[in-house]
Chains A and B, each alone.
Chain A
Amino acid sequence: MDVIQVNELTKYYGKSRGIENLSFSVLEGEIFGFIGPNGAGKSTTIRLLLSLIHPTSGLASIFGKDVTKKGPEIRSQVGYLPSEVFYYDHMHVGELLKYSASFYPGDHKERISYLAEVMELEMNRKIRDLSYGNKKKVGIVQGLLHNPTLLFLDEPTSGLDPLMQRKFFDLIREENKKGVTVFFSSHFLGEVQRLCDRVGIIREGKMVEISDIHTLQKNNYKKIGVLGRHEPASFEMPGVSNLHREGEWTQFFYSGDINQVLQRVSGFEIQDLSIGEPTLEEIFMHYYE
């Protein structure tokens, strides 16, 4: 069953583009990655789905209900972690979570203390005194405390240290195992790849590609740099592109079996080797080649 269905959704802010004719669907129980650079329309899409803003044209539904008509009903089962969290400064963390929980039916006390423990959140501090990362943790607990069946995460890991990021990912996986559908927006391909089943790539308000994560991984590019004495032509092999060389530093993109590159590299005496993720822009270049 489709939890989210988006059909030709378009949003203009006056004359400037938000998104254009966006269509996609998210299946129940999957983790859907939504990747694109800043300003591509990721937050616009999420805000449209949460009926924080209204579409210029097109349709969107969640749980089979029109988002423009059944907003409150839909939102009672939705958790949302915005890219930047803002809460009432003068409230204490516990007070804010209790306030938020009071809008959802049922008792959420145990759930709150469980989540706060996992995210190592101090409940008796004032929101005003919290660092960016700690506010984000409040956002995570607040987004999950009512056991939503659909989660919107808008660049959720910014501000979290690596340890917290891992705990957060574990938490999301755990929720997902319970059947929660996750819509995960990011401009960082790496974290999406680790978590998601499918990804949609958005660029300039349009969906460029929706693909299964395994398919994407097959033509997944690595950015490889080699420093040391070696033959200039030695890396001209299948799967290598954008090869360029400056003195003893060679850089290229590679997609394919990583072992083959490593075998080539081991044939030289090198000083340094770097294998990293290409930037999103570089990935997009691939889609436009």
Chain B
Amino acid sequence: MRMYFRELKAGIKSLLIWTVVIALLIVVAVVKFSAFESNPESLAILDSMPPQLMEALSMRAFNLTTLEGFFGAMFVFFALMGAMAAALWGSEAIAKEERERTVEFTLVLPIPRRQIVTAKLLAALTNCALFVLFTWVISVVASRSYDPGKSLFDFLRLEMLAMFMIELVFLSLGTLLACASKTPRRVGSMAIGLILGLYFISIFAGMHEKLSWLKFLTPFSWFNASEFFRSGRFEPYALVLTGVTVVICLFAAYFTYDRRDLYI
């Protein structure tokens, strides 16, 4: 419990920074929306873009002149930011102690290592939940001036849930990375690399019919905004894959951290 609160306190700054960044992103985007709002001509510009690019950015599925469509197109940013923040929170909590060599102090405390991982994981999870919540609140507030209807709130709810799912996946991936890695300095860049890699796979998966099997490999495809925008729900396979990934990663993380040597 004390470790959980220490971790939370240590992570507040990072949460604030991420929140400020996403708030700016949303505010700027919503201001831009005023240019698209009920203005079919602006769509002509988008139509002149290469269709593959539009597909890749999943912008084709959305009618950008509506608020729902606009927030649907924004999901890419929510997903990427959520993934990065979650992966960094998950890995940093463990890797930072090794980098700054405080890990010796922590591991000598009379508690089992799995308890240490749990405390750090819960603190990172709290951050993830708060980050989604803030994103949600900021989105709702920012869209106020356009007089949004129930359909936007319903879609936003789904979108935030999807963002949280993606966070869960990358939180557990990040934690595993930090638990298993022998080079704490590189964990952060490894996590970012992994995210970008998986994101590009999701783009390839959407580009060509032959590559569509790739969508099972990356959380960015499991939670595809244009799909859940259309169907109003998540694919069952996406939820199963999320659950399986999280369980396997966390199990492996606890297992390796319990058995590994302290590296400093």
Give the distance to chain B from A42, nearest Cβ to Cβ, in Å: 15
A102 adjacent to B110 (CB under 8 Å):
no
The yes or no answer to A230 lying at the interface (CB within 8 A) is no
Chain A positions within 8 Å of B2 at CB level: 99, 102-103
Q: CA A286 – CA B6 in complex, angstroms? A: 51
Proximity bits, B86-130, A CB within 8 Å = 1, else 0: 000000000000001110110111111000000000000000000
Q: B262 contacts which chain A residues (CB < 8 A)?
A: 47, 52-53
Contacts of A47 in B (CB 8 A): 262
Contacts of B10 in A (CB 8 A): 88, 90
Tell me the bound Cα distance from A198 to B220 in angstroms. 63
B261 within 8 A of A: yes
Q: Are B105 and A86 in contact (CB under 8 A)?
A: yes
Interface residues on A, range: 20 to 34
Interface residues of A in 100-118 (CB under 8 A from B): 100, 102-104
Q: Mark B1-20, 1 if CB is under 8 A from A, else 0.
A: 01000100010000000000
**CA distance in complex: A87, B105 (Å):** 7
Nearest residue, chain B, Cβ from A48: B261
Q: For the complex, what is the distance from the CA of A19 to the CA of B264, rounded to whole Å?
A: 17
Q: In whole angstroms, what is the CA distance A158 to B262 when docked?
A: 23
- Chain A residue nearest to B2 (CB atoms) is A102
Give Cα A99 to B102, complex, Å.
Answer: 14
Chain A residue with Cβ nearest B107: A52
Least CB separation from A47: chain B residue: B262
Q: Is the CB of A75 within 8 A of B109?
A: yes
In the assembled complex, A89 has its CB within 8 A of some CB on chain B = yes
Q: Does B259 contact A (CB under 8 A)?
A: yes
Q: In the complex, A52→B260 CA distance in Å?
A: 9
In the assembled complex, how far is the CB of residue B98 from the closest CB belonging to chain A, in whole angstroms?
10
Is the CB–CB distance between B112 and A88 below 8 Å? no
Q: Which of B210-264 contact A (CB under 8 A)?
A: 259, 261-262
Determine if B111 and A72 form an interchain contact, defined as CB atoms under 8 angstroms apart.
yes
Task: Give how many A-B residue pairs fall within 8 Å (CB-CB).
Answer: 51
- A75/B110 contact (C-beta < 8 A), A86-B104, A88-B10, A103-B2 known: yes
Whole-angstrom distance between the alpha carbons of A102 and B119 in the complex? 15
Interface bits A62-79 vs B (CB < 8 Å: 1, else 0): 000000000111011010
How far is A47 from B262 in the complex, measured between Cα atoms in Å? 9
Give the complex CA separation of A76 and B100 in angstroms.
24
B105 to chain A, nearest CB (A): 6
Contact with B along A48-59 (1 / 0, CB 8 A): 001011100000
Interfacial chain A residues near B100, Cβ < 8 Å: 86, 88-89
Task: For B110, list chain A residues within 8 Å (CB).
Answer: 72-73, 75-76, 103-104
C-alpha spacing A109/B113, complex, angstroms: 26
B117 CB to nearest chain A CB (Å) = 14
Chain A hits for B102, CB < 8 A = 86-88
- A71 x B112 contact (CB < 8 A): yes
Cα distance A142–B10 in the bound complex, in angstroms = 21
C-alpha spacing A99/B110, complex, angstroms? 13
- Asked whether any CB of chain B lies closer than 8 Å to the CB of A184, the reply is no
The smallest C-beta distance from B251 to any residue of chain A, in angstroms, reads: 20
> Does A156 make an interface contact (CB < 8 A)?
no
A85 to B6, alpha carbons, bound, how many Å? Answer: 19
A152 → chain B closest CB, angstroms = 9
A96 to chain B, nearest CB (A): 9
How distant is the Cα of A57 from the Cα of B261 in the complex, in angstroms?
14
Tell me whether B6 and A52 are in contact (CB under 8 A).
no
A71 to chain B, nearest CB (A): 7
Q: Which residues of A contact B101 (CB under 8 A)?
A: 84, 86
Contacts of B108 in A (CB 8 A): 50, 52, 75, 78, 80
A85 contact set on B, CB distance < 8 A: 105
In the complex, what distance in Å separates the CA atom of A13 from the CA atom of B100?
Answer: 21
- Name the B residues within 8 Å of A36 (CB-CB): none
- With both chains docked as a complex, state the minimum distance between the C-beta of A86 and any C-beta of chain B, in angstroms: 4
CB distance from A147 to the nearest CB of B (A): 13
C-alpha spacing A217/B102, complex, angstroms: 39
Residue of A nearest to B112 (CB): A72
A71 to B111, CA, bound (A): 8
Is A82 interfacial (CB 8 A cutoff)? yes
Residues in chain B within 8 A of chain A (CB atoms): 2, 6, 10, 100-102, 104-105, 107-112, 259, 261-262
Question: Which A residues lie at the B interface, using CB under 8 A?
Answer: 13, 47, 50, 52-54, 71-73, 75-76, 78, 80, 82, 84-90, 99-100, 102-104, 142
- Pairs A–B under 8 Å by Cβ, sample size 28: A13-B261, A47-B262, A50-B108, A52-B108, A52-B261, A53-B262, A71-B112, A72-B110, A73-B110, A75-B108, A75-B109, A75-B110, A76-B110, A80-B108, A85-B105, A86-B100, A86-B104, A86-B105, A87-B102, A87-B105, A88-B102, A89-B100, A99-B2, A99-B6, A100-B105, A100-B109, A102-B2, A104-B110
Known interface pairs A52-B261, A103-B2; 4 further A-B residue pairs with C-beta atoms within 8 A, sorted by A's residue number? A52-B104, A80-B108, A86-B105, A142-B105
Ranked nearest first, the 3 interchain pairs of A and B with the lowest CB-CB distance are: A76-B110, A86-B101, A53-B261
